[in-house]
Amino acid sequence: MKKYTILTCIALTFFSCRYMDEYPYDWAQPVDVFSMEQNYERPINQAYSYLTGGFDRINGSYLDAATDDGMSTLRNSSIHRLSRGFVNSSSPVESSWDASYKGIRQSLFVQKSLAEIDLVLNNKTSQDVINIKNTYSGEMYSLRAWYEFDLLRHYGGYPIINKYYNLGDPELSGIGRNSFKECVQNIISLCDSAVKYLDVAPVGAAGGFGRMTRGAALAIKAKTLIFAASPLFNQSGNGNPLTGYVGAGAADIKARWEEAALACAAVINLKTSSGAPAYSLHSDYSTLFTSSPNSEYIVFVGDAKSNNLENRQFPPTLSKTAGGGTVPTQEFADGFSLADGSTYVRNSSTNQYANRDPRFVATIGFDGSKYDTKTVFTHLGQGATNDGLNILTDRSTNTGYYLKKFLDLKVDFSKATPVTAFHLTPLIRLSDMLLLYAEAMNEAYGPDADPKGFGLSASAAVQRVRTRAGFTGSDKYLQGVTSIPAMRDKIKQERRIELSFEEQRYFDLRRWLDGSTLAKPVTGINIEITNGVTTNTYFTVDALRKFDTRMYLHPIPLQETMISPKIVQNPGW
């Protein structure tokens, strides 16, 4: 019997009903995060992380490399499939679907958790905590508005998600696309909610630069209304409520432009608590994009100081390991006016780069252009370098130009520790707002009228942008422009130059129904120096550029339409 006692003892020692109960207590649950002072801001930060843009947007290129402005030097980059129309709903190349819905989920998760979970903060009253929660909730409304706006400009109507869902919620399978109109209304109401909770000045440490503010919410609203008023979504005879307004008449369209103008004016005229304008144009166009903080950015993608952009976009002789990336086309270079504001006409002159729009040298690296103390040569023949046309695979220019915009020219990779710079990717900045305002005012009231007393006519808004760029009072750009269509063309051209490579043109050409521009081959320049004689030859860089009517809107990812029959595909895809 003694043996059984021993056995039983051993059994009791090892056998335990709690043997498998150990659990990873370091797995944070929502309550662990939102109730603790050191954690609760982190999921809020996370909600910002789905903002995208910049030089590595599509496989090493700016999105603008899929417009007539740019070309990627990366031989096998998928951006070429986008610009050449080799896309379909199962591999669309450009899609904002997943990132937007991730951002929306995170924002909704934050709003739900802030509302449900008690938070106590050191040295703060419960009213303080309510205010803090309201501000953060306001930021989440703004982010949701931006993510939804991004869906709107890609797809037209999209499925509106206004609620936090658990995995496997049966409601999900019943959700289909909302109409374009409902989506616009939803974004506007999100922006209005954000405006209610947010102040003009951001909260947070170190100035909070980059956080959503009242101005950001107003700007997203204005931008949404501009899209809503644009030709793409107001096509006569449209019977599909998903892709735009149905039965939009001239009066409806005018009313939409008026509404948009009002919304843009609200941003331009926004004042801080001290009465100063909330936003103002940065003094120098060439340093704007490497400045933090600056007075011009309204919504942008924050990023740490780095020189990755320079490494990608510098000419190869200046880059550390790469070079090239996205380069401008001849068509884009030709688009810059002369220094007096008159139109540039392509000629065979050897100093075609002189006497141009002051933004030309800030935007384009051309043969003989200065990069800080160094000179870059893109020509072939005598004195050719690795920066010459098509010298190095993937790294040398294939158009004869480099993109100089956004670069900090002080970055010097020959130094042991090259400096780093700010590279904040603008999503909405004041120039954009001014030009959108000009567009809306022109469409609603004509080039020079200001009947509502916003303080600025369409042409005055454009001129404000050009004046900052360095044009003086004798600027001929808008001289003699009196009709709405003539002004429209000038605004379009000004947007192309001022907002180049900021992902504006890709969507502008679509909302203006100017897709045919994207179907034209793009051109480059081959400069050859032989025996001291320079010859310029223009050549086709990409003859495969293509645009179909269906490309005005992007294909909804195939798998979404396959999973849910209620998510209807866009026409033609």
Partner 1 sequence: MSKKHFARYKLWIFFLLISPIISNAQQSDTPNIGNRKINSSNVQQTDTLDFGYRKMSIEDFNGASYTITAKELENIPATNLTNLLSGLVPGFFSVQNSGGTVDESADYWIRGRRTNAEGVLVLVDGQEREFGILSSREVASITILKDASVSALYGTRAANGIIMVTTKKGVIGKPSVEFSSQVINQQPVGLLTPVDGLTYATNYNEALRYDGRASSTLYSSHYLQQYRNGQGVNPEQYPDVNWFNDYYKKNSWVQRHNLSVSGGSEHTRYFINGGFLSQNGMFKTQPESSFSTNNATSRFNLRSNLEVDVTPTTLLSLDLYGWNDRQNRPGGDTFAAYTSLVSTPANAFPAYYVNNGQFIDQEGSIISGANDKIVAGNTLRSNPWALLNRNGYSTLNRIYGSFRAKLNQDLSIITRGLNASVILSMDSYSGSVTSRDKPFAYYQRTDFSSNQLIRTGNDGKMANSVADVSSQARNSLDLQLSYAKDFGKNNLSATTFYNQYEYDVQTSIPSRFQTIGYWAGYNFDHRYYVDFTGSYHGVYKFAPKDRFGFFPAVSAGWTVSNEKFFQPLSKVVNYFKLRSSYGLIGNQRGVAEFEYQTRLNATNGVYYFGNTMGAVNGYVEDILANPGLTWEKAEQLNIGANLRLLNNRLSYVVDYFKDTRRDMYMANNNVTSILGTVAAVNQNIGEMYSKGFEMMLSWNSSAGQLGYRLGATYSFTNNKTVKTGEVQEQYPWLVTTGYARGIRYGYESLGLFKTYDEIAASPQQTFSEVQPGDIKYRDINGDGLIDRNDQVPLGYGSVPSEFYGIHGGLSYRNFGLNFLFQGSGRVTQMLGGRAAFPFLSNGTMYEHQLDYWTPENTNASMPNISTVTSGANNTQVSSFWMRNSSYTRLKTLELFYQLPEKSLKNLFLNDVKVFASGYNLFVWSKGVSALDPEDLGNAGAMPLTRNVSLGLTAKF
Q: Is 75 in the site for partner 1 (CB under 8 A)?
A: yes
Cα separations (Å) of 516 from 68, 137, 548, 549, 551? 10, 42, 8, 9, 11
In angstroms, the Cα distances linking 492 to 29, 50, 203, 222, 321 are: 50, 29, 35, 18, 37
Among 54, 156, 159, 400, binds partner 1 (CB under 8 A): 159
The distance from CA 373 to its chain's CA centroid, rounded to whole angstroms, is 31
- Reduced 3-state DSSP string for 428-472: EEHHHHHHHHHHHHHHHHCCCCCCCCCCCCHHHHHHHHHHHHCCC
Interface pick for partner 1 out of 56, 182, 199, 303 (rule CB under 8 A): 303
- Site for partner 1 contains 70 (CB under 8 A): no
The dihedral sign for the CA sequence 450, 451, 453, 454: negative
Nearer to partner 1, 58 or 497 (CB): 58
**How many other CB atoms are found less than 10 A from the CB of residue 151?**
24
User: What is the C-alpha to C-alpha distance for residues 335 and 371, in angstroms, rounded to an integer?
Assistant: 22
Contacting partner 1 within 37-56 (CB under 8 A)? 39, 41-43, 45-46, 48-49
Pairing of strands 522-530, 380-381: parallel
Running DSSP on this structure, what letter comes out for residue 123?
Answer: T
Q: What is the dihedral of CA 152, 158, 162, 166, to 10 degrees?
A: -130
Token pair of 26 as six digits: 């370091």
- Dmax (CA) for the chain in angstroms is 114
For residue 40, which of 138, 120, 108 has the smallest C-alpha distance? 120
Which is nearer to partner 1, 103 or 447 (by Cβ)? Answer: 103
The residue written with tokens 């930060």 in the block is 45
Q: Is 318 in the site for partner 1 (CB under 8 A)?
A: no
Task: Report the site for partner 1 in 248-267 (rule: CB under 8 A).
Answer: none
Is 485 one of the binding residues for partner 1 (CB under 8 A)? no
Residue window 325-354: x/- pattern of binding to partner 1, with contact defined by CB under 8 A: ------------------------------
Alpha-carbon gap, residue 547 to 534, rounded angstroms: 36
In the complex with partner 1, the residue whose CB is nearer, 279 or 437, is 279
Q: Which of 5, 166, 273, 274 forms a contact with partner 1 (CB under 8 A)?
A: 166
Answer positive or negative: Cα dihedral of 144, 145, 148, 153: negative
CB of 42 to partner 1, least distance (A): 4
**Judged by CB under 8 A, does residue 295 bind partner 1?**
no
Tokens (6 digits) for 86: 């080799």
Range in contact with partner 1 (rule: CB under 8 A) among 32-40, 399-407, 466-474, 492-500: 32-40
Stretch that binds partner 1, among 182-190, 388-396, 438-446, 526-534 (CB under 8 A): 388-396
Task: Name the minimum Å distance from CB 68 to partner 1.
Answer: 19
The verdict on 484 binding partner 1 (CB under 8 A) reads no
User: Does residue 380 interact with partner 1 by CB under 8 A?
Assistant: yes
- Binding-site string for partner 1 from residue 501 to residue 540, where x marks contact by CB under 8 A and - marks none: ----------------------------------------
Stretch that binds partner 1, among 277-285, 390-398, 429-437, 458-466 (CB under 8 A): 390-398
List 394, 448, 450, 514, residue binding partner 1 (CB under 8 A)? 394
Phi, psi angle pair for 521, to nearest 5°: -60, 150
Binder of partner 1 out of 125, 205, 274, 383 (CB under 8 A): 205
- Minimum CB distance to partner 1 smaller for 206 or for 250: 206
Beta carbon of residue 485, minimum distance to partner 1 (angstroms, whole number): 37
Span interacting with partner 1, options 239-247, 322-330, 382-390, 529-537, rule CB under 8 A? 382-390
Q: Among residues 425, 400, 444, 418, which one has the least CA distance to residue 534?
A: 400
CB of 401 to partner 1, least distance (A): 17
Which region among 233-241, 262-270, 522-530, 561-569 touches partner 1 (by CB under 8 A)?
561-569
Interface residues for partner 1 in 541-560 (CB under 8 A)? 557-560
Helix, coil or strand: residue 540? strand
Residue closer to partner 1 (CB basis): 25 or 474: 25
Choice from 81, 153, 464, 510 touching partner 1 (CB under 8 A): 81
CB nearer to partner 1: give 235 or 292.
292
**Minimal CA–CA distance to 183: which of 158, 164, 155?**
158
Minimum distance of partner 1 from residue 380's CB (angstroms): 7
Q: At what angle do helices 214-229 and 126-155 cross, to 10 degrees?
A: 20
Residues numbered 208 to 227 that lie near partner 1 (CB under 8 A) are 208-211
By beta-carbon proximity to partner 1, the closer residue of 53 and 293 is 293
For residue 71, the minimal CB distance to partner 1 (Å) is 13
**Binding to partner 1 in span 404-443, by CB under 8 A:** 422, 424
Q: Which of 55, 62, 101, 437 binds partner 1 (CB under 8 A)?
A: 101
Q: How far is the CB of 84 from partner 1 (least distance, A)?
A: 7
Helix, strand, or coil here: 247?
Answer: coil
Where b means 16+ CB within 10 Å and e means fewer, 177-199 reads: bbbbbebbebbbebbebbbebbe
Nearer to partner 1, 253 or 298 (CB): 298
Candidates 11, 250, 345, 416: give the one binding partner 1 (CB under 8 A): 11
Q: Using CB under 8 A, which of 22, 239, 251, 516 touches partner 1?
A: 22
Angle made by CA atoms 159, 436, 295, in degrees to the nearest 5: 100
14 contacts partner 1 (rule: CB under 8 A) = yes
Q: What residues have CB less than 8 Å from 425, skipping those under 6 apart?
A: 53, 54, 300, 301, 303, 502
Stretch that binds partner 1, among 27-35, 184-192, 238-246, 438-446 (CB under 8 A): 27-35
